Structure 1
Amino acid sequence: MSSVGGDPGDTARWVAEPPKDTGHGRGPYERDRARVLHSAAFRRLATKTQVHAAGTDDFLRTRLTHSLEVAQIAREMGARLGCDPDLVDTAGLAHDLGHPPFGHNGEDALDDLAAACGGFEGNAQTLRVLTRLEAKVLAPDGGSAGLNLTRAALDAVAKYPWPRRPGERKFGVYPDDRPVFDWLRSGAPAGRRCLEAQVMDWADDVAYSVHDVEDGIHGGYLTLRSLLPDADERAALCADVAAVYSAESATDLAGVLVDLLADPALAPVAGYDGSHRAQVALKATTSVLTGRFVAAAVSATRDRYGPGPHRRYAADLVVPRRTRAECALLKGIALRYVMRRPGAEARYARQREVLAELVAVLADRGADALDPVYAPVWRAAPDDAARLRVVVDQVASLTDPAAVAWHDRLVPGRRAA
């Protein structure tokens, strides 16, 4: 059972609900977790791309399996620090609900297409899904309150608790979602994430870095052995990481990379051949790296703040600089050898075209082409920008296969594949 502590306002909901006694004594964060697990948005993650196209290989991860892994890592790490385990679990399960079809490529495409209504960002869209788009609770005015999670749960999902800033790509709220955002952030230090959100974010980084490399090795897209003798390739990798994932210089990353590649934990997967023995070795490597990254953050946080329990705004997660660099290098390996592998850009370009053509045709056809849940919202929208936001909500909700199917149905003569 959840142990709810701290400010009673943490368990408040945007729309007040009568007490619910199911006879099992479930706490508010357990109810939050169940609402996310049973949501349509969570189910749709099963066929949304993580790194590899969803459905291309039964071994590879989707947004759904990734979210389950993030939740497990966050729950364990948070519990060791003293956070409510159901609260950090809920944040891990919910953190990617707003991601559109085709992974980060789709996110970038929709950001360009939604420029007239404030852009698109997966985390801001997650807030919108949780507080507006999911069907669970109605507000007194008849509008949707989404899943109506507790204030603490919404705050724990807020990776970027600020509106869009000039020149910045990451943000956590669109202008028309400010009322609920301001409510959930009431009393919170401006721009600061709660500990549970920091735990979820680090769990996301750990899962992303370790598991995407695991998928890349299993899929035959990369071999760590090939990096060992090639100084030029290592330098190019470090330059990629410094540009995309890390504040460290490429020179500093180069030293960390040499040590990482020489780490005994990685040796068993150097000659991966897909056999059962090789898969066991690969899984052991991912377990060691995940445990190491989690333990480093827990230990450093306890060293700074004491044994705890720590929760909400009583502490910040401390991740050692070298640990962050190692994690960033693994993310860079997946970026360079999986996401940017030969032939990938042509597929990404076609995905962007599919989304652009789909947004255009839906904006032109309007309510008649939208799902019944979006059509009345489109009709009630006061201006073109608001109608565009409804179209973007519709497209973002689609799975990868659904986006292709909608495109092929609505855009004659321009098949997605």
Structure 2
Amino acid sequence: MTRARQLGDIGFGYRPRAPYASDPARSRGRFYDEVESPTRTPFQRDRDRIIHSTAFRRLKHKTQVFVAHEGDHFRTRLTHTIEVAQIARALARALRCDEDLAEAVALVHDFGHTPFGHTGEDALNDKMAAWGGFDHNAQSLRVVTKLERRYAEFDGLNLSWETLEGLVKHNGPLTDGQGNGLEGPLPQPIRDFNELFDLELDRFASLEAQCAAIADDIAYDTHDIDDGLRAGLLTLDMLEEVPLSAQILAGVRARYPALDAVRTGHELMRRQITIMVEDVIATAAAKIAAMRPQGVADIHGAGHAIVTFSAEMAAAEKTLKAFLYRNLYRHPDVMRVRADAERIVRDLYDAYFADPRAMPEGWREGLDRAEDKVKARSVADFLAGMTDTYAVKEHRRLFDHTPDLS
């Protein structure tokens, strides 16, 4: 019996939504009340608003691992986001959850990322240390609740409670029962919004949000290898030290002994995604069968994540991540570009903070008289929204010498 037939009982095709899934007909609503659409569920409407936003388009020119002009075929935040959404929908479908909500959370999860990926985030967090720091997840919430200005009646996208909850908590609860942050102080933007619209930060998010979170891991665990191979920083032979990849490579080479390296790499990618996805589905399905949740409240109150890897796959994935950090993310060529990109972000922050008039109209008004805390957050909002290309352009405008990131 094939693996696909074995997984048939879990279900890759359409089946009715499970009782533990998020039900759009029972959505907790939006911060600002709106008349519901006659043709779309609240979650479908959220997804559409996300796709049509300015922040979504900006992901096209934001770094994943390699800055955009290093090659046209490397992944950007946008292509990564689309890949995450595809995997999240597949997981939600198999687990009989709401695919539209899983997709919406996946599509919005990287809205708060700065130019140049985590390098920009680290630099901005350091610059903002005196004013609560900078966190890309908290910034995503600011984007969709405040910074997007498209609608006549409200700032932000006015997304449903379920999508906002999934955005903020897709990696798990943020606070304990007393409101204390589980990983240090709770980012102020999240704390401020939660006082107005309680997202139940001490509870686990929906299964749909959990699908989006683990889809993110599966996507970058796999596709960063692909980009590393394309860049020449990784080789197939190097992957022999990673048990999961080595096992897959052995199967590919046994079946296609004359296959060229490029196609061998692609076979590795697609098989690795399949293995990881099937592992998550089987593991989550077993947990669901054991706990027999009768509603989404049981998911929120479970006390643990449900959409996870098996223990064996989690260990294999941890080894893979360690390999990628050692051989790709910390590669000297990548670190050199990161150092130059960090300088660009730091220089821009200092320039805008010293003279907000250097920022364009719509961002600088009133900042010359504002408190430093307000000015700093406004500068961070402006900088975080930049694409890689715009950040380089702005640096060239303001400074005599701009690092060459090629």
* Counterpart among 202, 213, 237 of residue 225 in structure 1: 237
Q: Does 1:135 align with 2:149?
A: yes
CA distance in 1, matches of 2:139, 2:387: 15
Q: Which moved more, 1:51-60 or 1:338-347?
A: 338-347
SS of the counterpart of 1:224? coil
Q: Give the secondary structure class of the aligned counterpart of 1:343.
A: helix
**Corresponding residue number in structure 1 for 2:311:** 321
> Greater CA deviation, 98-107 or 296-305?
296-305
Matched with 1:75 is 89
Aligned to 2:390: 402
Residue 247 of structure 1: aligned partner: none
**Per-residue deviation, 1:185:** 3.8
**CA 9–27 in structure 1, closer or farther in 2 if over 3 Å, else same:** closer
Determine the structure 2 residue equivalent to 1:384: 372
My pick for the range that moved more, 316-325 or 57-66, is 316-325
State the partner residue of 1:208.
Answer: 220
RMSD of the alignment, in Å? 3.1
CA shift at 1:116, angstroms? 1.6
2:207 and 2:148 mapped to 1: Cα distance? 26
- 1:341 is aligned to 2:331: yes
Which residue in 1 is equivalent to 2:193?
Answer: 180
Aligned equivalents of 1:311 and 1:332: distance in 2? 37
1:283/1:261 Cα in 2 relative to 1: closer, same or farther (>3 Å)?
closer
CA contact (8 A) 2:174 2:181 kept: no
In the TM superposition, residue 398 of structure 1 has moved relative to its aligned partner by 0.4
TM-score scaled by length of structure 1: 0.80
In the TM superposition, residue 301 of structure 1 has moved relative to its aligned partner by 1.4
Equivalent in 55, 59, 62 of residue 69 of structure 2: 55
One of 275, 297, 306 as aligned partner of 2:280: 297
Contact 2:245 2:268 in 1 (8 A): no
In the TM superposition, what are the counterparts of 1:184-263 in structure 2 within 5 Å?
Answer: 184-186=197-199, 188=200, 190-226=202-238, 228=240, 257=242, 259-263=243-247
Could you say if the C-alpha distance between residues 191 and 410 of structure 1 is closer, same or farther in structure 2, counting changes exceeding 3 Å?
Answer: farther
Q: Distance in 2 between matches of 1:176 and 1:104?
A: 19
Once the two structures are overlaid, the 10-residue window that deviates more, 153-162 or 126-135, is 153-162
- Whichever residue aligns with residue 415 of structure 1, its letter is T
Q: Which residue of 2 aligns with 1:151?
A: 161
Conserved 8 A contact 1:83-1:310:
no
Using a 3 Å threshold, how does the CA distance of structure 1 residues 287 and 343 change in structure 2: closer, same or farther?
Answer: closer
**SS of residue paired to 1:55:** helix
Partner of 1:17: 34
What's the CA shift for 1:305?
Answer: 1.5
Q: Take 2:323 and 2:144, find their aligned partners in 1: how far apart are those partners? A: 33
**What whole-Å deviation, never above 9, does each CA across 1:93-114 have from its counterpart, x for those lacking one?**
1100100011111111111011
Structure ranking higher on relative contact order (CA contacts 8 Å, 6+ apart) = 2
Q: What CA distance in whole angstroms lies between the structure 1 residues aligned with 2:247 and 2:294? A: 32
**Structure 2: gaps (5+ residues):** 1-13, 300-305
Structure 2 CA distance for partners of 1:227 and 1:20, relative to 1, 3 Å: closer
1:183 is displaced (CA, Å) by 4.9
Structure 1 residues 281-330: Cα deviation after superposition (integer angstroms, max 9, x where no partner): 32222111111111111111111212989874433223212212222333
Residues 263, 386 of structure 1: CA spacing in aligned structure 2 closer, same or farther, 3 A cutoff? same
Maintained 8 Å contact 2:239/2:246: no
Query: Which deviations, in whole Å up to 9, do the C-alpha atoms of 1:125-175 show, x marking residues without a partner?
Result: 111111111123355xxxx53011100011111235537978947x8x632
Q: Is the 8 A contact 2:116 2:388 kept in 1?
A: yes
CA contact (8 A) 1:300 1:319 kept: yes
Checking the alignment, whether the CA contact within 8 Å between 2:131 and 2:376 is kept in structure 1 is: yes
**Change in CA separation of 1:77 and 1:97 when aligned onto 2, cut-off 3 Å:** same
Aligned match of 1:414: 401
Q: CA deviation at 1:122?
A: 1.0
Q: Deviations over 1:12-51 (max 9, x none)?
A: 1111123344xxx111111111111111111111111001
Does structure 1 conserve the Cα–Cα contact (< 8 Å) formed by 2:85 and 2:106?
yes
Q: Which moved more, 1:211-220 or 1:311-320?
A: 311-320
8 Å CA contact retained: 1:98, 1:396: yes
Q: Secondary structure at the match of 1:375?
A: coil
In 1, Cα distance between the equivalents of 2:269 and 2:350? 42
CA gap of 1:260–1:402, structure 2 versus 1, over 3 A, is same
Distance 2:326 2:362 in 1: 40
Could you say if the C-alpha distance between residues 208 and 5 of structure 1 is closer, same or farther in structure 2, counting changes exceeding 3 Å?
closer
Asked whether the equivalents of residues 11 and 152 of structure 1 are also in contact (C-alpha less than 8 Å), the reply is yes
Normalised to the residue count of structure 2, the TM-score between the two structures is: 0.82
- Partner Cα separation in structure 1 for residue 181 and residue 49 of structure 2: 35
Q: CA deviation at 1:392?
A: 0.6
